Structure formats: structure tokens, C-alpha cells
Structure 1
Amino acid sequence: MKAIVTCVIAVLLFGCSKDEVDPRQQILGKWEPFYLGNGEYQPPVEKPGAYWHFLPDSVLLEYEYATQKTFKKKYWIDTLLNVAATYDDGYQLRFYYTPKFYGDTMELHMENASPIFSISKWKRIN
């Protein structure tokens, strides 16, 4: 019995990593894509068309380099990264991603859709 209690205490103390970061905190900042694909080899994105800036108040700013325009969107993270764009007529278009973080890179898998490029990889730029 003493061995079982010791094992349970060891799992509780050492089983959870303190290095885990909340994705709602990890996503904050500016991100630029460096890969768009579907899991098979694709050459890296040489010249990204835009970057995404995730702000702490659930605002996502998408800045397009060519037009120098910024588009305001809403995002939130529950089990997925949810990105919503609301148009002038009130129509809201939502995209759902499964995010994975690796240091200063993130990988997004698009969910509930059949896109040509379902995987994107991003690097932190700030």
C-alpha cells in the first residue's frame, strides 16, 4: 500500500510539466507563414503575403504587405483556434484550426474544411 501511495505522489509531483504554456498566451504576437501545404513536401513560402498579429483582447490583425491594409478579425482558443471575420453586411466567416506550438513556430491544421492547403506553419516575427 505504501508503494502505491508513493507512486501516486510521484505522478502528481513530477507527472505534470511546469514548462507547458497556455496556448492563449503562446499565440500572442506577430506571426508570418513559412509553409503552406497538405502534409506532403512543399517548398517553403519565399515571400509571405501577410502576417497575423494576435492581441491579448481576442483581436487578430491581418496585415497585407502588397496593399498595406490591415484587416481586423476576432479569435479565441477553446479546444481549437477559432478565427472569425465579420463583414459589413453582418455575415461572419469562421475558420477552425488545431494549433501546435514549438518554441517560436506554430503549426495550424485547418479543421472542418477541405482546403488545398490544410497545414500552415508560422514563425514568430517579433
Structure 2
Amino acid sequence: MKAIVMFVIAVLLAGCKKDEIDPRQAILGKWENFYVGNGEYRPPIEDSLGYWHFLPDSVLLEYDYSTKKTLEKKYWIDSLLHVGIQREDGFWLTLQYSPKFYADTMELHVEHASAIFYVSKWKRIN
């Protein structure tokens, strides 16, 4: 009887464990934007303007398809995703996002700023 109770407790504890996604690992790679809006239904973007490439060393490469140019930014993640670029005077311009990760998609919500479109959705391209 004692063994059965221990087995049931072990199954319940294992079933309650939530698989958490580490955003610092999930974000790595290339991401292409396919939606901008405010959460309402909008058709997907037909032609993405470029992609974001998150590297393990906190470097974000933002590539523009039309100009074929890459802009280097910095990113870091705590409870939010912070994307920043340093001005010539040393001041950091940053945007904060609340990231959500799904299978091969990422959803970003702009935080602490006014934006016309505060939701963007991205698909992994590598």
C-alpha cells in the first residue's frame, strides 16, 4: 500500500512540472517578421523587410533586404527583451519587449513606449 501511495505522489509531482523555455536560448538564431499590429486579426506581411539575427554574445544583427546592409545592436534579456543601440554621445537608445516563444515563432509586445503597432510576430528562418 505504501508503495502505491509513493508511486501516485511521484506521478502527480512529475505531471505538475512545467516545461519552461529559457528565452536566452530560445531567441538565438535568425528571425523574420511576418506580422505587425495590435493583436487584432491582420493579414500577414507578404514581404519581410529583413531579419534579426540574435547571436549568443548579446549581439543583434539587423539585416535589411532592400539595402543589403546590416546594423549591429546589443540585446539582453531579464524579464524583458531589451534591444539597444549606442549613440555617438554614449547614450543608449533602447526598446523593451515582452517576448513569448512558441514552436518556431516569437511574439514581441512593445513595453514602456508609445507605438502605433505594439505587437510583432516573427518566424525562425534558420
Cα-to-partner distance string for 1:44-83 (whole Å, 9 max, x where unaligned): 1111112000001111110111111111111111111111
Aligned to 2:40: 40
What amino acid maps onto 1:82 in structure 2?
H
What amino acid maps onto 2:27 in structure 1?
I
Distance 2:16 2:98 in 1: 24
RMSD: 2.0
**Aligned CA distance change for structure 1 residues 82 and 8 (closer, same or farther; 3 Å):** farther
Aligned to 1:13: 14
TM-score (norm 2): 0.87
What amino acid maps onto 1:100 in structure 2?
K
State the shift of 1:12 in Å.
3.8
What amino acid maps onto 2:39 in structure 1?
G
Secondary structure in 2 matching 1:13: helix
State the shift of 1:14 in Å.
2.7
Distance 2:17 2:123 in 1: 27
TM-score (norm 1): 0.87
Matched, 1:123 2:123: yes
What amino acid maps onto 2:109 in structure 1?
H
1:1-126 alignment, distance < 5 Å = 11-18=12-19, 20-126=20-126
Q: Which runs of 5+ in 2 are unaligned?
A: none
Moved over 2 A (4+): 5-14
Q: Which runs of 5+ in 1 are unaligned?
A: none
**Aligned CA distance change for structure 1 residues 13 and 72 (closer, same or farther; 3 Å):** same
State the shift of 1:10 in Å.
5.0
**% same residue:** 61
